[in-house]
């Protein structure tokens, strides 16, 4: 590497594109993969030829991707070494920080606010923080209990000002004694630190969730339906062996793999992992689709399907995980998920490791573990010479590994933890449960709180507002604020629509919210596409999107639109791009060299419009809308349904957006 840098310094304009293959080959050899990974990071950080305007549109995006991918591998490498008790890097005190990609929501800036109440663990009493000289260090505890609430409340010694609701999970009167097991003086726990009486003080505490969780010394997820971590640790041990063999080019012996496989069971004992109990808590019991192809033997039993722990199905805990992604995971008996060295495995580090292990989900077929070349955050594929991928697939991996893959696929935590934009979070919230108004349960995580503060100023109680909701999910003022803070990207999340429902909605003009990133909660097995998983770098929004108005029933009014292409027109130049069709299951969508021709084929005689949302560097992004075949009246608006998404290549990084066209559209 030094020789190459010295030689390149004598050249006025070194060309990385020509030199990289030779350099990677020279430095890689039999060295670990991290050598070439670090060299790629070095080039992107310090070589101006990798920056604008010398490179194409991917310049800044590639730099952020390289940073993110390198930090992911640093975390995965350390986690693997610690799980296997390797001497390498085990002396590190904590897991490394993760380089964030763009789109982190504004709410995640720390404020100066603090909790009003804390629980004094040593003295068994609640305290007012304002009566102390300063806010002391404290631990936040995240847990879910609302679904198991009893109709009764009891007085808990030390809690002043309100009675504590009882639940079927544990005796709340025993909580003070249980909290004494934690090695901390003060904790924040909702039952003891938020008045359970819908008072103004309770509403104020809910409004400051961001500052409460950001100000905590550490955060704990208390997971009531996990008794032990056996199944999780078995799967992580197997993955650690595979990761080190791939990343370090280590010659792992088969003995550890055989050892893990032999003691792994098809059905994990209940309460021993993140996917170890039947789907008794399914959000909608009407979901009866057949078990997925990667299901375990436990899944094939009649009426039994494994699901993630109930902590991962709560909307409030989703918000708390997003506010504190470094949260520690505890069993119901307060046993922490640790690596072999005793260090806590945080939720973020666990999700990163699983995301690298299953880049496209662990499915039947050729998908293998740790295929670095297929990672979207690895620009240009794998640097250096190809290395041996893991030989294990879904068919040959232990069932504990398959359960970890199912856990990641069902919770989709990698999408929201890595790309914390409003649209991603709202879309993920569709599989989460919440009792009462859903908006306060997620508003702090996405920074959409002005509607809540405004209602408090008007002396109304936003916690009790569960009527007149958009699609029965969120208040209209909450939805409009989320849209205003998201911009045009608010409209690019796409979910599947059956052909029958699509046709019925156009016939009856009934709103189905096809333009919105949320719907009524559908449970873990909800068919979906979701928002794009890669963040944007330099967005230029089409001005028409600013005029679109979300209506109270979930429809969207469009007075203007930037129409890029229409299926009934023929005079369009060829453009490379891609269309994702979300209606029906047999559409021939995907990449194309002739965008307009593919749009006409997908339209199949209907009138379909490709409408621009924004341009990001050299790519234009938009949505696909299909008109109703039935014409209602000449003076009535045209009704349409969003049926897909698209992107196309532009010839310049400067915006090449379609002209502003006046329309009179209502999107169902």
Q: Residue 566 to residues 484, 562, 573: CA-CA distances in angstroms?
A: 28, 11, 13
CA distance 660 to 542: 8
Closest CA relative to residue 438, chosen from 448, 143, 550, 10: 448
Q: Where does 419-552 have alpha helices with state H?
A: 422-428, 439-446, 450-457, 476-486, 499-508
HEC-encoded secondary structure of 218-280: EEEEECCCCCCCHHHHHHHHHHHHHHHHHHCCCCCCHHHHHHHHHHCCCCCCCCCCCCCEECC
Domain termination residue (choose one: 207, 222, 244): 207
pLDDT per position as a tens digit, 608-656: 999 999 998 888 999 999 998 755 555 678 999 999 999 999 887 778 8
pLDDT of 283 above 50: no
Lowest mean pLDDT segment, chosen from 58-67, 105-114, 248-257:
248-257
Q: How confident is the model at residue 255 (pLDDT cuts 50, 70, 90)?
A: very low
494 and 520 part of one domain: yes
How buried is 534 (Cβ within 10 angstroms: 0-12 exposed, 13-18 middle, 19+ buried)? middle
For 129, half-sphere exposure in the C-beta direction (CA atoms, 13 angstrom radius) is 19
Token pair for 242: 């595979």
The continuous run of DSSP H or E covering 609 comes out as strand 608-616
75 and 192 part of one domain: no
Average pLDDT, stretch 294-321? 71
Token pair for 597: 């021709």
CA distance 513 to 351: 31
DSSP 3-state of 440:
helix
CA distance 111 to 113: 6
Average pLDDT, stretch 354-366? 69
396 and 270 part of one domain: yes
555 and 521 part of one domain: yes
Domain-located, residue 369: yes
Domain-located, residue 465: no
Token pair for 225: 């339906």
Domain-located, residue 450: no
CA distance 340 to 85: 6
Q: Highest mean pLDDT range out of 15-19, 106-110, 483-487?
A: 483-487
86 and 147 part of one domain: no
516 and 663 part of one domain: yes
411 and 546 part of one domain: no
What is the domain count for the chain? 4
Domain-located, residue 337: no
Q: What mean pLDDT, rounded, does the chain reach?
A: 80
Domain-located, residue 468: no
Question: Is the separation of the CB atoms in 320 and 347 below 8 Å?
Answer: no
Q: Which domain holds residue 57?
A: 2-101
At 620, give phi and psi (nearest 5°). Answer: -95, 135
Question: In the prediction, which pLDDT does 452 show?
Answer: 93
Question: In the prediction, which pLDDT does 173 show?
Answer: 95
Question: In the prediction, which pLDDT does 45 show?
Answer: 77
pLDDT per position as a tens digit, 318-349: 999 999 999 999 999 999 999 998 899 999 99
CA distance 192 to 187: 9
HEC-encoded secondary structure of 61-127: HHHHHHHHHHHHHHHHHHHHHHHCCCCCCCCCCCCCCCCCCCCCCHHHCCCCCCCCEEEECCCCEEE
DSSP 382: S
Question: In the prediction, which pLDDT does 24 show?
Answer: 57
More confident residue, 33 or 177: 177
CA distance 41 to 65: 10
507 and 551 part of one domain: yes
Domain-located, residue 448: no
Average pLDDT, stretch 514-518? 93
pLDDT per position as a tens digit, 146-167: 889 999 999 999 998 899 999 9
Domain termination residue (choose one: 77, 101, 125): 101
Lowest mean pLDDT segment, chosen from 44-53, 230-239, 368-377, 514-523:
44-53
pLDDT of 253 above 50: no
Domain termination residue (choose one: 391, 417, 443): 417
Average pLDDT, stretch 232-240? 93
DSSP 195: -
390 and 242 part of one domain: yes
Domain-located, residue 169: yes
CA angle 195, 196, 199 (to 5 degrees): 65
Question: In the prediction, which pLDDT does 286 show?
Answer: 30
136 and 242 part of one domain: no
45 and 81 part of one domain: yes
First to last CA, the chain: 58
174 and 284 part of one domain: no
Q: How confident is the model at residue 527 (pLDDT cuts 50, 70, 90)?
A: low
More confident residue, 584 or 595: 595
Question: Is the separation of the CB atoms in 121 and 182 below 8 Å?
Answer: yes
Domain-located, residue 422: no
More confident residue, 95 or 78: 78
Instruction: Read off the pTM.
Output: 0.87
pLDDT per position as a tens digit, 588-616: 888 999 999 999 999 988 999 999 999 98
């Amino acid at each position: 590497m030094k020789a190459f840098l010295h030689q390149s310094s004598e050249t006025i304009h070194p060309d990385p594109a020509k030199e990289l293959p030779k350099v990677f080959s020279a430095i890689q050899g039999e060295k670990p993969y991290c050598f070439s990974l670090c060299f790629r990071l070095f080039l992107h950080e310090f070589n101006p030829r990798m920056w604008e305007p010398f490179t194409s549109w991917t310049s800044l995006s590639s730099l952020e991707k390289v940073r993110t991918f390198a930090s992911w591998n640093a975390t995965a490498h350390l986690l693997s070494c610690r799980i296997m008790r390797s001497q390498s890097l085990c002396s590190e005190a904590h897991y490394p920080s993760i380089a964030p990609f763009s789109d982190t929501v504004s709410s995640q800036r720390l404020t100066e606010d603090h909790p009003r109440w804390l629980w004094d663990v040593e003295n068994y009493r609640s305290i007012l923080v304002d009566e102390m000289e300063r806010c002391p260090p404290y631990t936040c505890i995240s847990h879910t209990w609302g679904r198991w609430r009893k109709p009764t409340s009891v007085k808990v010694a030390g809690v002043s000002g309100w009675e504590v609701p009882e639940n079927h999970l544990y005796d709340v009167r025993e909580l003070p004694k249980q909290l004494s097991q934690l090695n901390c003086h003060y904790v924040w726990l909702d039952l003891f630190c938020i008045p359970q009486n819908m008072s103004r003080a309770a509403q104020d505490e809910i409004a400051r969730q961001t500052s409460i969780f950001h100000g905590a010394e550490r955060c704990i997820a208390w997971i009531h339906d996990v008794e032990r971590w056996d199944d999780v640790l078995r799967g992580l041990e197997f993955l650690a062996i595979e990761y080190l063999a791939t990343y370090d080019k280590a010659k792992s012996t088969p003995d550890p793999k055989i050892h893990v496989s032999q003691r792994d069971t098809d059905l994990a004992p209940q309460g021993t992992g993140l996917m170890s109990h039947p789907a008794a808590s399914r959000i909608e019991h009407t979901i009866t689709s057949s078990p997925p192809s990667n299901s375990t033997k436990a899944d094939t039993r009649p009426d039994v399907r494994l699901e993630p722990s109930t902590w991962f199905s709560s909307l409030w805990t989703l918000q708390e995980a997003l506010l504190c992604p470094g949260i520690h995971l505890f069993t119901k008996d307060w046993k922490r998920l640790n690596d072999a060295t005793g260090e806590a495995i945080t939720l973020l580090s666990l999700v990163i490791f699983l995301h690298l292990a299953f880049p496209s989900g662990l499915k039947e077929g050729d998908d293998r573990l740790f295929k670095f070349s297929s990672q979207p955050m690895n620009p240009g594929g794998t640097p250096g010479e190809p290395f041996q991928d893991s030989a294990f697939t879904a068919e040959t991996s232990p069932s504990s590994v398959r359960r970890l893959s199912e856990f990641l696929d069902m919770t989709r935590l990698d999408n929201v933890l890595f790309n914390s934009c409003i649209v991603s979070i709202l879309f993920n919230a569709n599989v989460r449960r919440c009792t009462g108004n859903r908006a306060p349960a997620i508003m702090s995580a996405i920074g959409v709180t002005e509607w809540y503060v405004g209602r408090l100023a008007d002396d109304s109680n936003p916690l009790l507002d569960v009527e007149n909701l958009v699609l029965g999910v969120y208040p209209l003022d909450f939805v409009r604020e989320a849209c205003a803070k998201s911009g045009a990207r608010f409209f690019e999340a796409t979910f599947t629509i059956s052909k029958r429902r699509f046709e019925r909605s156009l016939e009856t003009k009934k709103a189905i919210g096809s333009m919105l990133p949320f719907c009524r909660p559908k449970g873990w097995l909800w068919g979906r596409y979701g928002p794009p998983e890669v963040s944007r770098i330099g967005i230029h929004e089409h001005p028409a999107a600013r005029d679109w108005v979300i209506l109270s029933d979930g429809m969207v009014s469009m007075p203007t639109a930037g129409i890029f292409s229409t299926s009934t027109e023929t005079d369009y130049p060829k453009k490379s791009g891609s269309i994702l069709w979300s209606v029906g299951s047999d559409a021939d969508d995907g990449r194309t060299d002739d965008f307009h021709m593919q749009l006409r084929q997908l339209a199949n005689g209907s009138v379909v419009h490709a409408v621009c949302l924004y341009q990001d560097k050299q790519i234009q992004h938009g949505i696909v809308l299909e008109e109703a075949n039935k014409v209602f009246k000449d003076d009535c608006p045209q009704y349409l349904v969003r049926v897909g998404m698209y992107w196309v290549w532009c010839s310049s990084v400067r915006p090449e957006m379609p002209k502003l066209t006046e329309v009179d559209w209502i999107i169902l």
